Homo-oligomer: A and B are copies of this chain.
Amino acid sequence: MTDPRLQVNVAGLVLKNPLLPASGTYGYGREYLPFFTPDLFGAVVTKGVSTIPWVGNPPPRVYETPAGMLNAIGLQNPGVEAFISEAIPFLETYQTPVIVNVVGKTVEEYVAVVERLDDISVVSGFELNISCPNVKEGGIAFGTQPDCAAQVTAAVRKATRKPLIVKLSPNVTDITAIAKAVEQAGADALSLINTLLGMAIDLRSRKPVLGNVVGGLSGPAVKPVALRMVYQVYQAVSVPIIGMGGICSAADALEFIMAGATAVAVGTGMFHDPMLPRKILDGIREFLQEEKVENIAELKGIAHR
């Protein structure tokens, strides 16, 4: 089952394989049990957790687009206390590390969630979703301004010594500027990309399809953009990168690794095929075999050479 060729190290976490679920697409791990257990993944990344419960956006919340989908869930989640009482006991029964995705509307909210979870041993690290609107800055996402991104990173950095991953928004002119700012502010790793802002209009009603008007585009459609950003960020920072955006095959995952990702995450691809994570791991193993690669780390960033 475990294959030493797949083992990677992300921000001090030793992962038995480089595949993670993308936050928000895998719930807290329970829903995909009919298909595989959380232990399939190198680590579990939970959906976003906030201080208090968030109700989320009005429906419709999802919509299919060419080779992709839009979502405007609005980060619905039961809040950190419910997370502790319901998700943690479930995740504790598995061996794989747990990375908690953290959301907030202010710097203080991010810090509060991390502080609340920091002593829980099954929580191995944090992933900050900085695509959330910053209410103090008029609702502009934290992740679109280097200084805001650095500020929330630095504040959370003070609150935990556990691995801190910052998840970047792709809706920016220069993603390397954000990446450098959060690296400087203490991030141990970066994950990218979050969703691209998009929308759809229903011709019959002549109105935006999504209850929230705009939503996040994910899935294979965005893969070329995600890959380019991983490639650029790899050149700009020295912390490890978790690459994601449209991964639907082992080949896609390997492209991200060659672009510079240490680990990769699969999200929307699971909606296309609930067995995808298993297929990706099998496919990566096959590729390593065929190409006689001793450890997947050899392939990391190889496209830059």
B70 in contact with A224 (CB, 8 Å): yes
The proximity string for A residues 199-224 relative to B, scoring 1 for CB distances below 8 Å and 0 otherwise, is 11101001110000110010111111
**Which of B203, B217, B225, B303 contacts A254, CB < 8 Å?**
B203
What sequence of 0s and 1s flags, for each residue 226-244 of chain A, a beta carbon within 8 Å of any chain B beta carbon? 0110010000000000000
A203 touches B67 (CB 8 A): no
Measured between C-beta atoms, what is the minimum distance from A182 to chain B in Å?
A: 16
Contact A224 B203 (CB under 8 A): no
Main SS class of interface, A: mixed
Cβ of A93 under 8 Å from chain B: no
State the CA gap A203–B291 with chains docked (Å). 10
A65 within 8 A of B: yes
Are A66's CB and B67's CB within 8 A? yes
Is A246 close to B, CB under 8 A?
A: yes
Check if A84 is an interface residue, CB within 8 A of chain B: no
Contact of A258 among B144, B174, B198, B201 (CB under 8 A): B201
Is there contact, CB below 8 Å, between A198 and B227? yes
**Which of A168-220 touch B at CB < 8 Å?**
171-174, 196-201, 203, 206-208, 213-214, 217, 219-220
Is B144's CB under 8 angstroms from A208's CB? Answer: no
Is B225 within 8 A of A198, CB to CB? yes
Chain B proximity of A119: nearest CB distance (Å): 37
Are A65 and B224 in contact, CB atoms less than 8 angstroms apart? yes
Cross-chain contact B66 with A203 (CB below 8 angstroms): no
Top 4 A-B residue pairs of the complex, sorted by shortest distance between their CB atoms: A198-B224, A66-B220, A67-B67, A221-B221
